[in-house]
Structure 1
Amino acid sequence: MSDTGLTELVRMWIDGWVVSRGSSDPIDEPWGWTIDVGQPTHVARHVLPEPTEADVRKIAAATTAPGTWLKLFAEDEVVLPWLGAGWRHAGAGFLMTCRLKPERAQAPAGYTLTRWSRGGVTRVLVRTREGHFAARGQIARAGGHVVVDQIETAPEHQRKGLGGLVMRSLQSAAHEAGATTGVLVGTPDGRALYSSLGWTTRSPMASLWYEPSDAALAE
Protein backbone atom coordinates (compact mmCIF):
# COMPACT_ATOMS: atom_id res chain seq x y z
CA MET A 1 0.00 0.00 0.00
CA SER A 2 2.91 2.38 0.70
CA ASP A 3 3.84 2.16 -3.01
CA THR A 4 0.32 2.88 -4.27
CA GLY A 5 0.10 6.19 -6.13
CA LEU A 6 -2.21 8.98 -5.06
CA THR A 7 -4.50 8.72 -8.09
CA GLU A 8 -5.00 5.00 -7.44
CA LEU A 9 -5.71 5.62 -3.75
CA VAL A 10 -8.28 8.28 -4.61
CA ARG A 11 -9.96 5.89 -7.04
CA MET A 12 -10.06 3.23 -4.31
CA TRP A 13 -11.77 5.74 -2.03
CA ILE A 14 -14.29 6.64 -4.75
CA ASP A 15 -15.11 3.02 -5.53
CA GLY A 16 -16.10 2.37 -1.93
CA TRP A 17 -17.72 5.77 -1.36
CA VAL A 18 -20.25 5.33 -4.19
CA VAL A 19 -21.29 1.98 -2.72
CA SER A 20 -21.60 3.50 0.74
CA ARG A 21 -23.73 6.41 -0.47
CA GLY A 22 -25.63 4.71 -3.29
CA SER A 23 -24.34 7.23 -5.80
CA SER A 24 -23.77 6.82 -9.53
CA ASP A 25 -20.75 5.08 -10.95
CA PRO A 26 -17.88 7.55 -11.36
CA ILE A 27 -17.56 9.13 -14.79
CA ASP A 28 -13.99 9.36 -16.08
CA GLU A 29 -12.76 12.89 -16.80
CA PRO A 30 -9.37 14.10 -18.09
CA TRP A 31 -8.66 15.50 -14.61
CA GLY A 32 -10.35 12.83 -12.43
CA TRP A 33 -13.99 11.79 -11.97
CA THR A 34 -17.52 13.16 -11.74
CA ILE A 35 -20.11 11.45 -9.52
CA ASP A 36 -23.87 12.09 -9.53
CA VAL A 37 -25.04 12.08 -5.91
CA GLY A 38 -28.58 13.33 -6.41
CA GLN A 39 -29.27 15.12 -3.12
CA PRO A 40 -30.66 18.67 -2.89
CA THR A 41 -27.50 20.02 -1.25
CA HIS A 42 -25.14 17.55 -2.91
CA VAL A 43 -26.17 17.21 -6.54
CA ALA A 44 -22.81 16.05 -7.88
CA ARG A 45 -19.13 16.07 -7.06
CA HIS A 46 -15.96 16.47 -9.09
CA VAL A 47 -12.92 14.66 -7.69
CA LEU A 48 -9.44 15.77 -8.74
CA PRO A 49 -6.55 13.67 -7.37
CA GLU A 50 -3.91 16.02 -8.79
CA PRO A 51 -5.68 19.36 -9.30
CA THR A 52 -4.17 22.03 -11.52
CA GLU A 53 -5.14 25.68 -11.52
CA ALA A 54 -6.32 25.52 -15.13
CA ASP A 55 -8.60 22.53 -14.50
CA VAL A 56 -10.08 23.90 -11.28
CA ARG A 57 -10.78 27.31 -12.78
CA LYS A 58 -12.40 25.72 -15.84
CA ILE A 59 -14.67 23.49 -13.73
CA ALA A 60 -15.58 26.37 -11.41
CA ALA A 61 -16.41 28.69 -14.31
CA ALA A 62 -18.68 26.06 -15.87
CA THR A 63 -20.56 25.31 -12.63
CA THR A 64 -24.05 26.79 -12.32
CA ALA A 65 -25.82 24.24 -10.11
CA PRO A 66 -25.85 24.91 -6.35
CA GLY A 67 -24.86 21.82 -4.44
CA THR A 68 -21.99 20.95 -6.76
CA TRP A 69 -18.94 19.84 -4.78
CA LEU A 70 -15.22 19.81 -5.46
CA LYS A 71 -12.86 17.35 -3.79
CA LEU A 72 -9.31 18.55 -4.45
CA PHE A 73 -6.40 16.51 -3.14
CA ALA A 74 -4.09 19.37 -2.27
CA GLU A 75 -3.50 21.85 0.54
CA ASP A 76 -6.24 24.42 1.12
CA GLU A 77 -3.89 27.35 0.69
CA VAL A 78 -2.89 26.09 -2.75
CA VAL A 79 -6.35 25.61 -4.28
CA LEU A 80 -8.58 28.15 -2.53
CA PRO A 81 -7.17 31.13 -4.52
CA TRP A 82 -8.25 29.38 -7.72
CA LEU A 83 -11.96 29.63 -6.86
CA GLY A 84 -14.20 32.67 -7.18
CA ALA A 85 -17.44 33.91 -5.70
CA GLY A 86 -20.04 31.38 -4.65
CA TRP A 87 -17.63 28.64 -3.61
CA ARG A 88 -17.76 27.71 0.09
CA HIS A 89 -15.00 25.94 1.96
CA ALA A 90 -16.23 22.92 3.90
CA GLY A 91 -12.94 22.44 5.70
CA ALA A 92 -9.75 20.45 5.35
CA GLY A 93 -9.73 16.69 4.95
CA PHE A 94 -7.12 13.96 4.89
CA LEU A 95 -6.93 10.81 2.78
CA MET A 96 -5.79 7.98 5.05
CA THR A 97 -5.13 4.26 4.73
CA CYS A 98 -4.46 1.33 7.04
CA ARG A 99 -3.61 -2.35 6.91
CA LEU A 100 -6.58 -4.18 8.39
CA LYS A 101 -6.23 -6.67 11.24
CA PRO A 102 -8.52 -8.23 13.87
CA GLU A 103 -9.62 -5.76 16.54
CA ARG A 104 -11.28 -6.10 19.93
CA ALA A 105 -14.51 -4.11 20.06
CA GLN A 106 -16.45 -4.29 23.30
CA ALA A 107 -18.99 -1.65 24.25
CA PRO A 108 -18.27 0.12 27.57
CA ALA A 109 -20.70 -0.08 30.44
CA GLY A 110 -23.98 1.67 29.67
CA TYR A 111 -23.82 1.13 25.89
CA THR A 112 -24.77 -1.56 23.39
CA LEU A 113 -23.25 -2.21 19.96
CA THR A 114 -25.15 -3.57 16.95
CA ARG A 115 -23.62 -4.54 13.59
CA TRP A 116 -25.34 -5.56 10.35
CA SER A 117 -24.55 -5.79 6.61
CA ARG A 118 -26.64 -5.24 3.51
CA GLY A 119 -25.86 -4.42 -0.12
CA GLY A 120 -22.10 -4.37 0.34
CA VAL A 121 -22.28 -2.00 3.32
CA THR A 122 -21.65 -2.93 6.95
CA ARG A 123 -23.01 -0.58 9.61
CA VAL A 124 -22.28 -0.24 13.31
CA LEU A 125 -24.64 1.46 15.75
CA VAL A 126 -23.90 2.30 19.38
CA ARG A 127 -26.82 3.15 21.67
CA THR A 128 -27.34 3.73 25.35
CA ARG A 129 -29.01 1.02 27.39
CA GLU A 130 -32.21 3.04 27.01
CA GLY A 131 -31.87 2.95 23.21
CA HIS A 132 -30.69 6.52 22.62
CA PHE A 133 -28.34 7.15 19.69
CA ALA A 134 -24.68 7.51 20.71
CA ALA A 135 -22.44 6.75 17.72
CA ARG A 136 -22.42 5.16 14.29
CA GLY A 137 -20.32 4.41 11.22
CA GLN A 138 -20.20 2.25 8.11
CA ILE A 139 -17.86 0.60 5.61
CA ALA A 140 -18.36 -0.32 1.97
CA ARG A 141 -16.43 -3.11 0.28
CA ALA A 142 -14.81 -2.56 -3.11
CA GLY A 143 -12.53 -5.38 -4.18
CA GLY A 144 -9.85 -6.07 -1.60
CA HIS A 145 -10.40 -2.87 0.33
CA VAL A 146 -13.08 -1.09 2.31
CA VAL A 147 -13.94 2.57 2.61
CA VAL A 148 -14.89 3.89 6.04
CA ASP A 149 -17.66 6.46 5.94
CA GLN A 150 -19.99 8.58 8.08
CA ILE A 151 -18.32 8.11 11.45
CA GLU A 152 -20.38 10.12 13.94
CA THR A 153 -20.66 10.46 17.71
CA ALA A 154 -23.46 12.41 19.37
CA PRO A 155 -22.07 15.49 21.16
CA GLU A 156 -23.25 14.33 24.57
CA HIS A 157 -21.43 11.01 24.15
CA GLN A 158 -18.10 12.27 22.86
CA ARG A 159 -14.79 11.62 24.62
CA LYS A 160 -15.99 8.26 25.88
CA GLY A 161 -14.14 6.08 23.39
CA LEU A 162 -17.18 5.40 21.22
CA GLY A 163 -15.54 6.61 18.01
CA GLY A 164 -12.72 4.15 18.59
CA LEU A 165 -15.25 1.42 19.36
CA VAL A 166 -17.05 2.03 16.05
CA MET A 167 -13.79 2.07 14.10
CA ARG A 168 -12.43 -1.10 15.68
CA SER A 169 -15.70 -2.92 15.07
CA LEU A 170 -15.75 -1.84 11.42
CA GLN A 171 -12.09 -2.68 10.87
CA SER A 172 -12.57 -6.11 12.39
CA ALA A 173 -15.65 -6.74 10.25
CA ALA A 174 -13.70 -5.78 7.14
CA HIS A 175 -10.85 -8.09 8.06
CA GLU A 176 -13.27 -10.95 8.74
CA ALA A 177 -14.75 -10.41 5.26
CA GLY A 178 -11.32 -10.75 3.65
CA ALA A 179 -10.45 -7.11 2.99
CA THR A 180 -6.82 -6.16 3.55
CA THR A 181 -6.81 -2.37 3.28
CA GLY A 182 -8.92 0.45 4.72
CA VAL A 183 -9.31 3.84 3.05
CA LEU A 184 -11.04 6.95 4.34
CA VAL A 185 -11.12 10.73 4.18
CA GLY A 186 -11.21 12.23 7.66
CA THR A 187 -11.58 15.64 9.24
CA PRO A 188 -8.83 17.25 11.32
CA ASP A 189 -10.65 16.11 14.48
CA GLY A 190 -11.08 12.57 13.18
CA ARG A 191 -7.47 12.39 12.03
CA ALA A 192 -6.18 12.11 15.59
CA LEU A 193 -8.51 9.17 16.32
CA TYR A 194 -7.65 7.37 13.11
CA SER A 195 -3.91 7.89 13.60
CA SER A 196 -4.17 6.33 17.06
CA LEU A 197 -5.75 3.26 15.43
CA GLY A 198 -2.92 2.77 12.94
CA TRP A 199 -4.08 4.87 10.00
CA THR A 200 -1.52 6.76 7.89
CA THR A 201 -2.16 10.14 6.24
CA ARG A 202 -1.54 9.98 2.50
CA SER A 203 -2.73 13.36 1.23
CA PRO A 204 -4.57 16.53 2.26
CA MET A 205 -7.93 17.21 0.63
CA ALA A 206 -9.76 20.51 0.18
CA SER A 207 -13.55 20.19 0.15
CA LEU A 208 -15.73 22.92 -1.37
CA TRP A 209 -19.28 23.37 -2.58
CA TYR A 210 -21.02 25.87 -4.84
CA GLU A 211 -23.66 28.03 -3.16
CA PRO A 212 -24.00 31.41 -4.89
CA SER A 213 -25.62 34.28 -3.04
CA ASP A 214 -29.20 35.30 -3.79
CA ALA A 215 -27.87 38.41 -5.52
CA ALA A 216 -25.67 36.34 -7.81
CA LEU A 217 -28.57 34.03 -8.68
CA ALA A 218 -30.73 37.01 -9.64
CA GLU A 219 -28.21 38.46 -12.07
Structure 2
Amino acid sequence: MDEPTVNELVRAWVEGWIVSRGAADPVDEPWGWSIDVGQPGQVARHVLPEPTEADVRKLVAATTAPGTWLKLFADDDTVRPWLGPGWHHDVPGYLMTVPLAAGSPVVPAGYTLTSRWRGGVVRVLVRTGDGRFAARGRLAVTGATAVADQIETDPGHRRRGLGSLVMRALQDAGHRGGAVTGILVGTPEGRALYTALGWSVRAPMASFSYAPEA
Protein backbone atom coordinates (compact mmCIF):
# COMPACT_ATOMS: atom_id res chain seq x y z
CA MET A 1 0.00 0.00 0.00
CA ASP A 2 1.30 3.44 -0.93
CA GLU A 3 2.39 5.84 1.81
CA PRO A 4 -0.23 8.55 2.42
CA THR A 5 0.61 11.96 1.04
CA VAL A 6 1.02 15.03 3.24
CA ASN A 7 -2.31 16.26 1.89
CA GLU A 8 -4.01 13.04 3.02
CA LEU A 9 -2.35 13.16 6.44
CA VAL A 10 -3.32 16.78 6.98
CA ARG A 11 -6.92 15.95 6.03
CA ALA A 12 -6.91 13.12 8.60
CA TRP A 13 -5.43 15.48 11.20
CA VAL A 14 -8.17 18.04 10.50
CA GLU A 15 -10.87 15.36 10.88
CA GLY A 16 -9.45 14.19 14.20
CA TRP A 17 -8.89 17.70 15.51
CA ILE A 18 -12.50 18.76 14.99
CA VAL A 19 -13.73 15.60 16.74
CA SER A 20 -11.35 16.23 19.65
CA ARG A 21 -12.31 19.91 19.98
CA GLY A 22 -16.00 19.68 19.05
CA ALA A 23 -15.52 22.18 16.22
CA ALA A 24 -17.67 22.53 13.11
CA ASP A 25 -17.09 20.26 10.12
CA PRO A 26 -14.34 21.53 7.81
CA VAL A 27 -15.35 23.32 4.64
CA ASP A 28 -13.48 22.21 1.53
CA GLU A 29 -11.59 24.99 -0.24
CA PRO A 30 -9.43 24.92 -3.39
CA TRP A 31 -6.36 25.36 -1.19
CA GLY A 32 -7.38 23.14 1.77
CA TRP A 33 -10.01 23.54 4.51
CA SER A 34 -11.67 26.22 6.63
CA ILE A 35 -12.93 25.45 10.14
CA ASP A 36 -15.38 27.55 12.13
CA VAL A 37 -13.91 27.19 15.63
CA GLY A 38 -15.96 29.86 17.41
CA GLN A 39 -13.71 30.44 20.41
CA PRO A 40 -12.25 33.63 21.91
CA GLY A 41 -8.90 34.14 20.26
CA GLN A 42 -9.66 31.60 17.55
CA VAL A 43 -12.82 32.26 15.59
CA ALA A 44 -11.68 30.30 12.53
CA ARG A 45 -8.69 28.52 11.09
CA HIS A 46 -7.61 27.98 7.50
CA VAL A 47 -5.51 24.86 6.90
CA LEU A 48 -3.31 24.74 3.80
CA PRO A 49 -1.45 21.41 3.30
CA GLU A 50 0.47 22.76 0.27
CA PRO A 51 0.44 26.56 0.62
CA THR A 52 1.31 28.76 -2.33
CA GLU A 53 2.19 32.44 -2.15
CA ALA A 54 -0.85 33.38 -4.23
CA ASP A 55 -3.29 31.49 -1.99
CA VAL A 56 -1.81 32.82 1.25
CA ARG A 57 -1.75 36.43 0.05
CA LYS A 58 -5.37 36.13 -1.12
CA LEU A 59 -6.44 34.80 2.29
CA VAL A 60 -4.49 37.51 4.11
CA ALA A 61 -6.08 40.23 1.98
CA ALA A 62 -9.57 38.86 2.66
CA THR A 63 -9.16 38.46 6.43
CA THR A 64 -10.82 41.08 8.63
CA ALA A 65 -11.75 39.10 11.78
CA PRO A 66 -9.23 39.06 14.63
CA GLY A 67 -8.68 35.53 15.87
CA THR A 68 -8.34 34.05 12.39
CA TRP A 69 -5.54 31.49 12.22
CA LEU A 70 -3.52 30.13 9.33
CA LYS A 71 -2.01 26.63 9.55
CA LEU A 72 0.50 26.38 6.72
CA PHE A 73 2.36 23.12 6.18
CA ALA A 74 5.65 24.63 5.07
CA ASP A 75 8.79 26.11 6.62
CA ASP A 76 8.39 29.36 8.55
CA ASP A 77 11.04 31.11 6.50
CA THR A 78 9.21 30.25 3.28
CA VAL A 79 5.77 31.56 4.23
CA ARG A 80 6.57 34.41 6.63
CA PRO A 81 7.20 36.97 3.81
CA TRP A 82 3.71 36.26 2.44
CA LEU A 83 2.01 37.64 5.59
CA GLY A 84 1.24 41.31 6.14
CA PRO A 85 0.70 43.67 9.09
CA GLY A 86 -1.36 42.32 11.98
CA TRP A 87 -0.27 38.71 11.53
CA HIS A 88 1.63 37.19 14.43
CA HIS A 89 3.83 34.13 14.35
CA ASP A 90 3.07 31.29 16.76
CA VAL A 91 5.28 28.38 17.83
CA PRO A 92 6.12 26.23 14.77
CA GLY A 93 4.76 22.71 14.60
CA TYR A 94 5.62 19.34 13.08
CA LEU A 95 3.17 16.94 11.45
CA MET A 96 4.14 13.52 12.81
CA THR A 97 2.88 9.95 12.44
CA VAL A 98 3.42 6.58 14.12
CA PRO A 99 2.20 3.01 13.43
CA LEU A 100 -0.14 2.18 16.31
CA ALA A 101 0.46 -0.99 18.31
CA ALA A 102 -0.74 -2.55 21.54
CA GLY A 103 1.25 -1.82 24.68
CA SER A 104 0.80 -1.74 28.43
CA PRO A 105 2.27 1.50 29.81
CA VAL A 106 3.95 1.26 33.21
CA VAL A 107 2.67 3.86 35.69
CA PRO A 108 5.46 5.38 37.84
CA ALA A 109 5.14 5.00 41.59
CA GLY A 110 3.11 7.74 43.22
CA TYR A 111 0.77 8.28 40.26
CA THR A 112 -2.49 6.87 38.92
CA LEU A 113 -3.64 6.59 35.33
CA THR A 114 -7.28 6.71 34.23
CA SER A 115 -8.88 6.79 30.79
CA ARG A 116 -12.40 7.18 29.45
CA TRP A 117 -14.03 7.11 26.03
CA ARG A 118 -16.73 9.46 24.82
CA GLY A 119 -17.83 10.18 21.27
CA GLY A 120 -14.83 8.50 19.65
CA VAL A 121 -12.35 10.34 21.88
CA VAL A 122 -10.30 8.72 24.63
CA ARG A 123 -9.10 11.01 27.42
CA VAL A 124 -6.14 9.97 29.55
CA LEU A 125 -5.47 11.59 32.92
CA VAL A 126 -2.53 11.13 35.29
CA ARG A 127 -2.97 12.18 38.91
CA THR A 128 -0.78 12.20 41.97
CA GLY A 129 -1.53 9.93 44.90
CA ASP A 130 -3.58 12.68 46.53
CA GLY A 131 -5.58 13.30 43.36
CA ARG A 132 -3.84 16.35 41.92
CA PHE A 133 -3.41 16.89 38.20
CA ALA A 134 -0.08 15.72 36.76
CA ALA A 135 -0.54 15.07 33.02
CA ARG A 136 -3.20 14.51 30.39
CA GLY A 137 -3.88 13.87 26.71
CA ARG A 138 -6.64 12.86 24.34
CA LEU A 139 -6.93 10.88 21.13
CA ALA A 140 -9.72 11.12 18.53
CA VAL A 141 -10.23 7.94 16.51
CA THR A 142 -11.68 8.50 13.03
CA GLY A 143 -11.39 5.16 11.27
CA ALA A 144 -7.90 4.04 10.35
CA THR A 145 -6.28 7.15 11.82
CA ALA A 146 -6.26 8.59 15.32
CA VAL A 147 -5.23 12.14 16.21
CA ALA A 148 -3.46 12.91 19.50
CA ASP A 149 -4.32 16.30 20.97
CA GLN A 150 -3.88 18.49 24.05
CA ILE A 151 -0.90 16.61 25.47
CA GLU A 152 0.14 18.38 28.66
CA THR A 153 2.32 17.72 31.72
CA ASP A 154 2.19 19.96 34.78
CA PRO A 155 5.52 21.83 35.13
CA GLY A 156 6.02 20.41 38.61
CA HIS A 157 5.83 16.84 37.31
CA ARG A 158 8.00 17.00 34.19
CA ARG A 159 10.99 14.75 33.52
CA ARG A 160 9.32 11.89 35.37
CA GLY A 161 8.17 9.92 32.34
CA LEU A 162 4.57 11.12 32.47
CA GLY A 163 4.55 12.45 28.92
CA SER A 164 5.70 9.04 27.68
CA LEU A 165 3.08 7.38 29.89
CA VAL A 166 0.27 9.47 28.39
CA MET A 167 1.43 8.88 24.82
CA ARG A 168 1.85 5.13 25.26
CA ALA A 169 -1.62 4.91 26.83
CA LEU A 170 -3.12 6.88 23.94
CA GLN A 171 -1.31 4.81 21.32
CA ASP A 172 -2.54 1.60 22.94
CA ALA A 173 -6.10 2.93 23.12
CA GLY A 174 -6.01 4.00 19.48
CA HIS A 175 -4.84 0.56 18.43
CA ARG A 176 -7.59 -1.11 20.45
CA GLY A 177 -10.06 1.34 18.90
CA GLY A 178 -9.20 0.02 15.43
CA ALA A 179 -6.87 2.78 14.21
CA VAL A 180 -3.67 1.92 12.36
CA THR A 181 -1.83 5.25 12.24
CA GLY A 182 -1.41 7.92 14.89
CA ILE A 183 -1.17 11.56 13.78
CA LEU A 184 -0.34 14.74 15.67
CA VAL A 185 1.12 18.19 15.24
CA GLY A 186 3.81 18.65 17.89
CA THR A 187 5.77 21.62 19.16
CA PRO A 188 9.57 21.74 18.97
CA GLU A 189 9.62 20.77 22.66
CA GLY A 190 7.26 17.84 22.13
CA ARG A 191 9.04 16.65 18.99
CA ALA A 192 11.91 15.13 21.01
CA LEU A 193 9.49 13.11 23.16
CA TYR A 194 7.45 11.88 20.22
CA THR A 195 10.54 10.94 18.21
CA ALA A 196 11.81 8.86 21.13
CA LEU A 197 8.46 7.02 21.09
CA GLY A 198 8.75 6.15 17.40
CA TRP A 199 6.94 9.06 15.76
CA SER A 200 8.29 10.39 12.44
CA VAL A 201 8.18 13.96 11.13
CA ARG A 202 6.23 14.19 7.87
CA ALA A 203 6.09 17.98 7.34
CA PRO A 204 6.74 21.29 9.12
CA MET A 205 3.83 23.57 10.00
CA ALA A 206 3.93 27.36 10.31
CA SER A 207 1.18 28.96 12.40
CA PHE A 208 -0.02 32.57 12.30
CA SER A 209 -2.89 34.47 13.92
CA TYR A 210 -4.50 37.76 12.96
CA ALA A 211 -4.61 40.39 15.72
CA PRO A 212 -4.30 43.86 14.19
CA GLU A 213 -4.71 45.65 17.53
CA ALA A 214 -1.88 43.74 19.24
TM-score calculated relative to the size of structure 2 = 0.98
Please say if 1:106 is aligned against 2:115.
no
Per-residue Cα deviation, 1:95-128 (whole angstroms, up to 9, x for no partner) = 0011001122121011111100001110000010
Percent of residue pairs identical: 65
Structure 2 residue runs of 5 or longer lacking an equivalent are none
**1:207 and 2:214 are equivalent in the alignment:** no
Partner of 2:133: 133
User: Is 2:143–2:178's contact at 8 Å kept on the other side of the alignment?
Assistant: no
SS state of the match for residue 90, structure 2? strand
State the Cα RMSD in Å.
Answer: 1.0
Could you report, residue by residue, the CA deviation over 1:62-111 in whole angstroms, capped at 9, with x for unpaired residues?
11111110000000000011101111111110000110011221210111
Counterpart-to-counterpart distance in 2, 1:35 and 1:107: 37
Whichever residue aligns with residue 120 of structure 2, its letter is G
1:7 and 1:175 map into 2 onto residues whose CA distance is 23
Is 1:147 the equivalent of 2:147? Answer: yes
Task: In structure 1, give the amino acid aligned to 2:87.
Answer: W
Report whether the alignment pairs 1:26 with 2:26.
Answer: yes
* Counterpart secondary structure, 1:56: helix
Report the counterpart of residue 79 of structure 1 in structure 2: 79
**Which stretch of structure 1 is more off in the superposition, 151-160 or 1-10?**
1-10
Contact 2:164/2:193 (CA < 8 Å) preserved in 1? Answer: yes
What is the TM-score normalised by the length of structure 1?
A: 0.96
- Matched with 2:170 is 170
In structure 2, the residue matched to 1:217 is none
Residue matched to 2:157: 157
- Segments of 5+ residues of structure 1 without an aligned counterpart are 215-219
| Paired residues of 2:18 and 2:25 also in contact (CA < 8 A) | yes
Match of 2:65, SS state, is coil
Runs of 4+ in structure 1 displaced over 2 angstroms? none
Structure 2 residue aligned with 1:90: 90
SS of 1:35 mapped into structure 2: strand
What's the CA shift for 1:2?
6.6
SS in 1 for 2:61: helix
1-structure distance, mates of 2:131, 2:80? 43
Count of residue pairs the alignment pairs up:
214
CA distance 1:157–1:116, shift in 2 (3 Å): same
Matched, 1:55 2:55: yes
